[in-house]
Structure 1
């Protein structure tokens, strides 16, 4: 396409005159891997018992409304995903940023916030077929520079899509803004702005904000560990300061909110617009800031399970999957902690991603060893590991069912399809000197065996750096990477 033609098409798009038809340019892969492009074989779908989280009435339909699919943070889809038949791995190049959380509007378009350490934080609407950008909205300045800039999730790393397909995103300036689609989703406009500066000090930025089932917005800050509730009608905020870091998102049930800090696990409820601690539990903590983790604490967003349970990983060494009973009060003799199950071994286990929850099963990924992708040790391999832990019938304890010691998934938020029975992850595999190949990977959730892999690309541009996989309405898998967005689908 000529430069003049491109300019004409861009002008028409900005005017909302037509939907984009041009396919995005692929992400450049100047040094493709010498390894086989695919391994394994097509899988046969084996459905699992799905945990159907309740639908939050103020959010877009599950499982397309936030990074972790629903407010129970299950990271599971009762939707299909690729089975491995004639796999097609494609990509769309975009201005440098990381679209870490991918949601889908009512028309199946990808909606994301894309933070960057070099470019302004930008909201994007992306065509799911062409991977072309349909609309953008600049939210603010780049994320702060520094040695941990690659682990800064503020300014939109966590956001949610509401029932009107509107983006609710925190900014680095301590505001919560609402963006709406216009002109056939070729334009984004700001329709609301909530000022949280009175509730948060200058250095305290919102990590995550989500609505409860009554429409009030809960938010948390990393610095100072503040937990707040915003009444969007009166604009009044009430805040409780824990004095502990909160660097993850949180889980929301019909009557409670579950938050993990770098020290404790909490259940909160709303008492007259104020956050109220129903219970709190200190978890095991080695005090080690493990490579791959943001701080010396739990790296997980809590996951709510059927049967009255909520789960995290702690920061013990070896790291453990910890399951709690959710009830505000327990019968005499019953303990809050159901189990603490070690995974991955001493000195080699860490995770910075939420557990996948399905039925009585939890799936945990090892991120130990991940380093700054822009630093001197960017090429370092992480420790392999994926494991499944089941809560025993009646909550009598837990059992580790399997451990996969082949898959090296540095930071991706993995996802489960309960229709295919496959876990979808994204790994950097060992390769000859100088190569940094990234592969889509599927794991059989029943057995833990690697089902298949498919090459995505090599080098920094294909690094996902904590971004999460999303399964789209068409059954494709999508993932934000530093160079844009990658897609995996079965052959038509």
Structure 2
């Protein structure tokens, strides 16, 4: 999430924190349509969808100016897109988290519901439940469910449920991410290191525990039937909940967090959300660390934390990433964000080392087996949104820029980019717009069953379709 400007610097911090996977909903999982109901695609965070994308002849079919930037977009069963946006209101452009519905053909805003302003990340991570409601934390210290009523004729957004987290989120702390599990509970994590669950019922039960002092969380959490993966600025955790809902650690693996934050990352530590993939769809879990000279891809067995493989995440791409890792089968695609210039207010963990670097970009495919990791390809795609891997057509879609030119860093025009998952070769380069209106900001899009792709920029909501 990237851009300059007074109001946008607050927005950027809110939005960067910004799953083939168990791409289907299992009994007991309170989640909406397959592939379009979670920020990272599915509970395993494979950043993938079973649907095909808009294809090699994609076109920009519609757009709108929602008055803010939308970090994550979900698609209901009636094909109405609902987004978690940051709306700029009042003098000075105060950033207010806002649930926003869009018209499925024109992309026009049809309903808005501002949430209580609080921690920047609370209005960013969320998901769509089985009844088509957006589940998100607001600034009052509660998890709320926001429903869209009235269809397209009389659209309105209404809070239908609210569960207070009082006594579990300390003053000054805020919810970073949340997701449902396979037992019907809602898991949440906070920036300050609290991990908790909400067990539904007539009187919902909240239970929580705190991880080691000094460890913070700036990413989402990933879920499989047997556990939940949580990544802090120091370590990767596999967790479970007891009969009372209280989380406990099954295993912990510290990683190399380096000597400082890197340019193009927001915190001092790994910038990835853990990705479940591999045998059975979740037998392995992958992250990228923050080692000084070159970050490492680390793949562990989900059940016991045994190391499957460790290798340099990149060869020639920028040496760092703030993005989640798309996955399909036993294969990962790792995008680089090294060198991207975030506003200072968006960054935490002290100054980066070095203070700046060119945004080289690049993505790489790594195939994993029980005997190790093997790099298959590496390309030069300078992508600037969270990529979405469309398993239906084998293309990785994202917004991005043209080649890096000599001289002062210029991001230049923005394109919809598609790369072949098998070869890494570019198959789509569609001009979209120009910054600052269409700065991609690492926002997250979604792809519907008919191949329609919804993707926000800092200033617009875009609807892409096939010709």
**TM-score normalized with structure 1 length:** 0.80
Instruction: Decide whether aligned partners of structure 1 residues 215 and 104 sit closer, same or farther in structure 2, where only a CA change above 3 A counts.
Output: same
Residue 134 of structure 1: which of 73, 91, 110 is its match?
110
CA distance in 2, matches of 1:113, 1:183: 19
Which residue in the other structure is 1:251 paired with?
Answer: 222
CA distance in 1, matches of 2:179, 2:248: 17
Residue 369 of structure 1: which of 332, 336, 339 is its match?
339
CA contact (8 A) 1:299 1:352 kept: yes
Q: Deviations over 1:206-237 (max 9, x none)?
A: 011111111111100012x1101112323332
Gaps of at least 5 residues in structure 1 are: 1-49, 145-151, 329-334
Instruction: Decide whether aligned partners of structure 1 residues 326 and 248 sit closer, same or farther in structure 2, where only a CA change above 3 A counts.
Output: same
* CA deviation after TM superposition for structure 1 residue 61, in Å: 2.3
CA distance in 2, matches of 1:460, 1:431: 18
Instruction: Decide whether aligned partners of structure 1 residues 446 and 294 sit closer, same or farther in structure 2, where only a CA change above 3 A counts.
Output: same
* CA deviation after TM superposition for structure 1 residue 367, in Å: 0.5
CA contact (8 A) 1:176 1:195 kept: yes
CA distance in 1, matches of 2:464, 2:32: 24
SS in 2 for 1:115: strand
Which residue in the other structure is 1:220 paired with?
Answer: 189
* CA deviation after TM superposition for structure 1 residue 54, in Å: 4.5
Instruction: Decide whether aligned partners of structure 1 residues 435 and 250 sit closer, same or farther in structure 2, where only a CA change above 3 A counts.
Output: closer
Name the larger-Rg structure.
1
Which residue in the other structure is 1:148 paired with?
Answer: none
**Which segment drifts farther, 128-137 or 257-266?**
128-137
1:65 matched to 2:63? The reply is no
CA contact (8 A) 2:257 2:290 kept: yes
Which residue in the other structure is 1:161 paired with?
Answer: 128
CA distance in 2, matches of 1:403, 1:347: 8
Aligned residues: 418
Q: After TM superposition, list the pairs within 5 Å mapping 1:24-423 onto structure 2.
A: 50-56=20-26, 57-85=29-57, 87-116=58-87, 118-141=94-117, 152=120, 154-184=121-151, 186-223=155-192, 225-233=193-201, 234-242=203-211, 243=213, 244-272=215-243, 273-307=245-279, 308-316=283-291, 317-328=293-304, 336-345=306-315, 348-372=318-342, 382-392=359-369, 395-404=370-379, 406-410=380-384, 412-423=385-396
CA distance in 2, matches of 1:196, 1:204: 12
CA contact (8 A) 2:39 2:125 kept: yes
CA distance in 1, matches of 2:308, 2:242: 27
Which residue in the other structure is 2:3 paired with?
Answer: none
CA distance in 2, matches of 1:157, 1:398: 33
CA distance in 2, matches of 1:348, 1:82: 28
Q: Deviations over 1:130-187 (max 9, x none)?
A: 001121111133x77xxxxxxx4x1321111000001111112321111112112511
SS in 2 for 1:461: coil
Provide runs of 4+ in structure 1 moved above 6 Å.
431-435
* CA deviation after TM superposition for structure 1 residue 262, in Å: 0.7
Higher share in strand: 2
CA contact (8 A) 2:443 2:455 kept: yes
CA distance in 2, matches of 1:95, 1:213: 35
* CA deviation after TM superposition for structure 1 residue 100, in Å: 1.2
Residue 477 of structure 1: which of 438, 442, 453 is its match?
453
CA distance in 2, matches of 1:90, 1:320: 40
RMSD after superposition: 2.2
CA distance in 2, matches of 1:450, 1:172: 42
CA distance in 1, matches of 2:260, 2:24: 36
CA contact (8 A) 1:319 1:345 kept: no
CA contact (8 A) 1:91 1:484 kept: no
